[in-house]
Each structure stands twice: as structure tokens, then as C-alpha cells.
Amino acid sequence: MNVFRLTGDLSHLAAIIILLLKIWKSRSCAGISGKSQILFAIVFTTRYLDLLTSFISLYNTSMKLIYVGCAYATVYLIYVKFRATYDGNHDSFRVEFLIVPVGGLAVLINHSFAPLEILWTFSIYLESVAILPQLFMISKTGEAETITTHYLFCLGLYRALYLFNWVWRFYFEGFFDMIAIVAGLVQTVLYCDFFYLYVTKVLKGKKLSLPA
Amino acid sequence: AIGQTRHDEL
């Protein structure tokens, strides 16, 4: 555990909590892509199957359980509890265009051809692109609530911090995992455009709206 | 150590 890992995890946790609280407090999931949230629920489920096979630490187990639990709670709020506020018309990204290639890639490029390994690899690849339905929705409506941009910022920051964590681990532990690093780079790059808008608009007190 | 790290990171 290093400082980048820890702040990365906390940033990830903050993102998840911000989104849950936003939906809960406003009693609405307007502007939130339910599809992205389903993808994240799939990501956590396929990655944390190792909860059943290996114990690392209390921190590790509890964070995994919190992430999985919150992911399903978010999906429940969007598709069941506040379904009436869900903006399905604007959430029109075709997720099969992500899941099918990512599934194929996980079968082709993995560390070992074992069910748990393939599912882990699948979750890493899928996470890197899971935010696309959300970004697509924002580009379609041309705007995002400020609280939604805070959520996206924390979520993007988390993977960027993990990149620093991997540099650290490479230097001090001689460890690197090419699959995680490449996918993490892709994931971080997808947020760059958003980071720019966040810094130039949201942090200056303006609402995030895209030019028509 | 690949396998271990697999489970260690979130």
C-alpha cells in the first residue's frame, strides 16, 4: 500500500458515495447513465469473485464489499426506486458494442486461461470503457449537473492515481501488470477531455455545458 | 507475484 493506492481507493469511494447521495437526496437520477452503472456493477462482480477464494486484509475485503454493494444499490435506485426520473431516451449508448469486444479481448489476451483469470481480465477491460455511456449521454444532452461532474472527476482521478501507484510499485517492488497498466491508461485518457472541461468551467463556478 | 497482486488491488 502506498499513498497513490490509498488516495486512489478513497477517490473511487468518494465518487461512488457522491453519486449515491446525489440520487438519494434529489430523489432523481436525471442525467445519470443507468447503463454505465450496470457496467460498473458487472465490473465489480466479475473482479471480486476472489472474495470467495482469497483473503488479503480486512481493508481489502471491506472495500470490495462496499464497492459491490454500492454498485448494486445505485442500479436499484436508478431502475427501481427512482425509475420515473430515469432519462432512458438520452441513455442510448449500445452497450453490446462494449461488452462483446471486451469479452473477446479478455479471452484472447489474459495472463492465464482460467475462468477466474478471464473474468478478472474482462472486468479490467470493461472498467476502462464503462464510463462511455455516461460521457455519451452528456455529449447528447450537452450538459451535466455540477454534482455529476464532481462524481466524474473523482472517478477519473482514481484511475490516474492508480497509474502513479503502478509506477511506484514498479520502482519499489519490481512489480508491473501489463493488462492493468494498459487498460488503466486507456481509462484515464478517456477522461482527459472531461478533466479539461472540469478545470476550465466547473472549478470556475460555471455549469458544464457543451457548445451546440 | 502476479496472482497475488490481482487480489490485492481494487
Q: What is the pLDDT of residue B1?
A: 46
Task: Give pLDDT, residue A151.
Answer: 98
ipTM: 0.81
pLDDT of residue A171: 95
- A–B CB contacts, 8 A cutoff, strictly below: 25
Whether residues B10 and A67 touch (CB distance < 8 A) is answered with: yes
Say which residues have a Cβ less than 8 Å from residue A35's Cβ, sequence separation at least 6. A91, A93, A95, A133, A134
The confidence score (pLDDT) of residue B3 equals: 57
State the 10-residue block means of pLDDT for chain A, 212 residues long. 97 98 98 98 97 93 98 98 97 97 98 93 98 97 96 98 96 92 97 95 92 75
List CB contacts (< 8 A) between A67 and chain B: 10
Distance CA A48, CA A54 (A): 10
Enumerate the domain spans of chain A.
Answer: 3-201
Reduced DSSP (H G I as helix, E B as strand, rest coil) percent helix, strand, coil of chain B, to 5: 70, 0, 30
A162 touches chain B (CB under 8 A): yes
Report CA Rg, chain B.
5
pLDDT at A211: 80
Look at residue B2 and tell me whether its pLDDT is greater than 50: yes
B7: amino acid identity, one letter: H
The three-point CA angle A11-A8-A160 to 5° equals: 105
Yes or no: say if A29 and A77 are a contact pair by the CB < 8 Å rule: yes
- Please tell me if residue A9 touches chain B, with a CB cutoff of 8 Å: yes
pLDDT score recorded for residue B4: 61
